[in-house]
Amino acid sequence: MYNCDKARLQNKIDTFSKFGDTGTGGITRLSLSEPALQARAEFKKRCEDLGMEFKTDDMGNMYTVHKGEEDLPAIVMGSHLDSVVNGGNFDGVLGVLTALEVAETIVSEKIKTRGPIAVMVWTNEEGSRFDPAMMSSGVVTGKFDKATMLNSKDKEGTAFGEALKASGYAGAEKNRLNADDYAGYFELHIEQGPVLEAEAKDIGVVEGVVGMINYEIDVKGVSDHAGTTPQKTRKDALYAASKIIIDLWEKLGKINPELVFTMGRINASPNIHTVIPKEVRFTLDARHKDPKIIERAAEVIKALPAEVAKCQVSYRQLWGRKTIEFNKDYVAAVQRAADGFGYSSRKIYSGAGHDAQYVADVMPATMIFVPSVNGHSHCVEEFTPTEAALKGANVLLNAVLEIDKNYRGR
């Protein structure tokens, strides 16, 4: 078993935490912003210092490759460098830094590999500046239309395509992740939840990404004066929406204990304190690994009455995804690496979306989770101790080396 270096990994974490530092313990490093470009430049420099070849594709994704002894497709490790607003120092970036540490260990220890080992960075994974999330992996794997994505604009009206061109990282389409040049994909990530820590597990052996549905529910009433309209004649859309939300919460909660759901966005119109709301729109996000459970959740939404509290009710599905199962050989390699070190582990599905779920449709892929303290993520409290990250890096290194040695075939 080979070991990564804790001091080197700590240096990487400390260095990258400066790019977009908010001064409050977290970062704001939106895609293709100046802090993101600083992080990209540091990544590029470190890879080139290791003698790795560097290139970018037409979506600004960065690829660096350490050659192997044979002319084979590369095994690639990756994640993203961009963050949400006031995010933490570990989401996404830790997957890049542990992959970079794996590459540095291979180079410094002169570990021979059959084929090339690559590290990559996805552009605009979070979707915090440009909609949607996982934009570039979606384009590369055929999920999103490139022209539409290039025209996606941030709040200031800058299009993704414009920002990409100005960044200097726009490369050739031929450089994209593809099944000819790459054998498979590994992504290490913080769990972003409390399970591993609560169960005192060092490693999450990720079997897949749960399926999900996302609906928007529209409730229409009538606006009237808040002080002069009798209660019994009101058509208050917010009151009706509140009743619907409570009803959905109770019914969805009875389907399955592992079904998770959220009404995460709500907009009331006209949103004036002296006016009865005439329209309320809210979203419902539901997730579970079993497609049958997801279908039951959808049936609850489709069974909503057309009228509640004298207000009209309608719904539409915004988007969804099927449950993704990761490659069993890759999952098993992660498990054997964790067992080889004596690390405690558990099988787990990801409730959050990751680039790996798109990649899994075009080549073998899997993920490795490391614990998140108190389950915090997408906030300044997000934290994973370096010792925990090092265990993940060790598992990543040895799982990659096993795949390189034994599972080069498809």
Q: What percent of the chain has pLDDT over 90?
A: 97
328-337 pLDDT per residue, tens: 999 999 999 9
The answer to whether 137 touches 146, Cβ cutoff 8 Å, is no
Angle value at C-alpha 99, between 98 and 101, nearest 5 degrees: 60
Could you give the 3-state DSSP secondary structure of residue 179?
coil
Q: How far apart are CA 376 and CA 226, in angstroms?
A: 40
Q: How far apart are CA 345 and CA 291, in angstroms?
A: 26
Is the pLDDT confidence value at 408 over 70? no
141-155 pLDDT per residue, tens: 999 999 999 999 999
262-319 pLDDT per residue, tens: 999 999 999 999 999 999 999 999 999 999 999 999 999 999 999 999 999 999 999 8
User: Which of the four pLDDT bands, split at 50, 70 and 90, describes residue 46?
Assistant: very high
Q: How far apart are CA 234 and CA 367, in angstroms?
A: 52
Other beta carbons within 10 angstroms of residue 69's beta carbon come to 10
Instruction: Read off the pTM.
Output: 0.90
Q: Who's near 188: CB < 8 A, 6+ residues apart?
A: 77, 79, 94, 95, 98, 99, 367, 368, 369, 370, 392, 393, 396
Q: What is the pLDDT of residue 320?
A: 87
CATH 3.30.9.10 describes domain 6-210+323-406: no
Is the pLDDT confidence value at 410 over 70? no
The answer to whether 244 touches 313, Cβ cutoff 8 Å, is yes
Angle value at C-alpha 24, between 19 and 25, nearest 5 degrees: 65
Is the pLDDT confidence value at 211 over 90? yes
User: Looking at the chain, which residues constitute the CATH 3.30.70.360 domain(s)?
Assistant: 211-321
User: Looking at the chain, which residues constitute the CATH 3.40.630.10 domain(s)?
Assistant: 6-210+323-406
* Residue bearing tokens 């560097």: 54
CATH 3.30.70.360 describes domain 211-321: yes
Q: Who's near 278: CB < 8 A, 6+ residues apart?
A: 220, 221, 222, 223, 235, 237, 269, 270
Q: How far apart are CA 306 and CA 296, in angstroms?
A: 19
Q: What is the pLDDT of residue 321?
A: 87
Q: What is the pLDDT of residue 268?
A: 98
Is the pLDDT confidence value at 401 over 50? yes
Is the pLDDT confidence value at 260 over 90? yes
* Residue bearing tokens 């440009």: 130
Average pLDDT, the chain: 96
- The answer, yes or no, to whether the previous bond of 194 is cis (omega within 30 of 0) is no
